[in-house]
Amino acid sequence: MRPVLWLLVLALAGCATTSAPPQKAPESVTIGALLPLTGSLASYGDSSRAALAEAVAVINARGGPRLTLLTEDSRTDPSIARAMLERLAGRGVSLVVGPYASSEVQAVRDVTATRGVVIISPLSTARTLATPNDNILRFTPDDEHEAAAVAALAIADGVRVMVTATRDDEGNQGLQSAFRRAFERRGGRVVPGVTYGANERDFTTSARSLLRNVVQARQNNPNTRIGIYLTAFDEVVPFFNQVATAARNNPGALTGIHWYGSDAVAQSKELVANSAAANFALHAGYPNPILGLDERTRATWGPVYDRIAARLGRTPDAFALAAYDAVMVGYDALLKADRAGGAEALRKEVVSIANRHEGLTGRTRLNAAGDRASGNYDFWAVCRVGNTLAWGKAAVFSGGEARRVSGCDQHPR
């Protein structure tokens, strides 16, 4: 055989061996959901369950490979979240929406690597979990973004000294650290307050200590507007009730104090369901930031939002909508990813699709660490609506600045 023909034969043979047959689409797709259906984030687990049910219904109505959702309850407990992720992995699940708390995400971190499971958390914000190329993706911006929003609103409100109060866990401590940096950059000053245990339920000592710190801050900073930055979960209900009791024994201690909260309390059904705590929040102001929705695109997300609200029986929070977006992106990624490539190929496909996806929460583009790259915030506060107390939008943050909005009837001290 002539040399030229021999080379041509070799070239054609090489092409034949390197080309792979097209990947056959699966007949069905399974996604796991690790939700806090009980525990201190149950309000969000409840709303996300409704959003995920709507996402499954929408996908299955299209007529493609059928989506099945396997749901486990993390109970907002890191050790249980770890066990439930192991259970899902044992059932062959390679993509999971959740868990929610940063402490839970930290607990499952090594499981995602050893079991080859990609997780998408709709709520976790701790900057300490922002690691490139791991199997942890998050559809909400990290705590630096949220803290910047709270700092901007506090400065806009005229607050220049902030007393801290926080639940002792990775996510909330991360928010406090990020807030200090953001607030001080804007000319504010943060003074020590109280830190309580993640499992604490009797806040008598913490409440008294917080009031002493506020009184001390007043004495050290006369003629200065003072605030309290509380990063908490649903234990905010007994915390507020015991702060109110302590305040009755210390008249005037909280007069003129502006309270600010965090994403894990925004639109909490537990807070508005407790009359005493809801009234305290009403008079404290207490705006809580959460990923904002773009009113300019309501025609896109509004109908789905309304269907989720109908399933839930109340206004869904943005984390539920982020969970919906995660299922939409994850489903497409599972169809397109090279299954032979395992978790690495799946992660890359999720990131690729997320970076061009326009979901209910807007553009889901991720940064190098796999976290949502940017986002605006809506601040929700307990407002008076007729004769009832309910969550209402009190402020917004966009373009690096915050402003109050009308429509939330409150009665600040």
21 band by pLDDT with thresholds 50, 70 and 90: low
> What was the pLDDT predicted at 114?
97
> What was the pLDDT predicted at 411?
54
Is residue 17 in a domain?
no
Counting Cα atoms < 13 Å in the Cβ hemisphere of 130 gives 20
Mean pLDDT score across all residues of the chain = 91
Q: How far is CA 115 from the centre of its chain?
A: 24
Do 239 and 323 belong to one domain?
no
Is residue 207 in a domain?
yes
Do 36 and 181 belong to one domain?
no
Angle made by CA atoms 30, 36, 38, in degrees to the nearest 5: 130
Neighbour-count burial of 36, counting CB atoms closer than 10 A to its CB (0-12 exposed, 13-18 middle, 19+ buried): buried
Task: Tell whether the model's pLDDT for residue 10 goes beyond 50.
Answer: no
Q: Which of 151, 171, 149 is nearest to 76 (CA)?
A: 171
Q: pLDDT (tens digit, 9 = 90+) per residue, 71-120?
A: 999 999 999 999 999 999 999 999 999 999 999 999 999 999 999 999 99
d(CA 387, CA 399) in angstroms, rounded, equals 35
Task: Tell whether the model's pLDDT for residue 176 goes beyond 90.
Answer: yes
In this predicted model, which residue has the larger pLDDT, 18 or 295? 295
Please state the pTM of the whole predicted model: 0.85
**Lowest mean pLDDT, pick from 25-34, 60-69, 232-241:** 25-34
Do 281 and 196 belong to one domain?
yes
Q: Residue 132 belongs to what domain range?
A: 28-140+317-363
Do 197 and 91 belong to one domain?
no
Number of domain units in the chain: 2
Mean pLDDT of 7-17: 40
> What was the pLDDT predicted at 412?
52
Mean pLDDT of 161-182: 96
> What was the pLDDT predicted at 356?
95
Is residue 312 in a domain?
no
Helices and strands counted in the chain (H then E): 13, 15
Do 254 and 395 belong to one domain?
yes
Do 95 and 47 belong to one domain?
yes
Do 228 and 105 belong to one domain?
no
Per-residue buried b or exposed e for 281-314, using 16+ beta carbons within 10 Å of the residue's own CB: bbebbbbbbbbbbeeeeeeebeebbebbbeebee
Do 134 and 150 belong to one domain?
no
Do 241 and 381 belong to one domain?
yes
Structure-token match 């001390």, residue found: 216
> What was the pLDDT predicted at 223?
92
d(CA 158, CA 181) in angstroms, rounded, equals 18
> What was the pLDDT predicted at 295?
84
Do 109 and 73 belong to one domain?
yes
Do 70 and 165 belong to one domain?
no
Number of neighbours of residue 333 by Cβ within 10 angstroms: 25
Is residue 371 in a domain?
no
Task: Tell whether the model's pLDDT for residue 12 goes beyond 50.
Answer: no
> What was the pLDDT predicted at 293?
85
387 band by pLDDT with thresholds 50, 70 and 90: confident
Mean pLDDT of 138-153: 95
CATH number at residue 357: 3.40.50.2300
Do 132 and 206 belong to one domain?
no
> What was the pLDDT predicted at 410?
66
Q: pLDDT (tens digit, 9 = 90+) per residue, 339-367?
A: 899 999 999 999 999 999 999 999 999 99
d(CA 30, CA 331) in angstroms, rounded, equals 8
294 band by pLDDT with thresholds 50, 70 and 90: confident
d(CA 304, CA 327) in angstroms, rounded, equals 14
Is residue 2 in a domain?
no
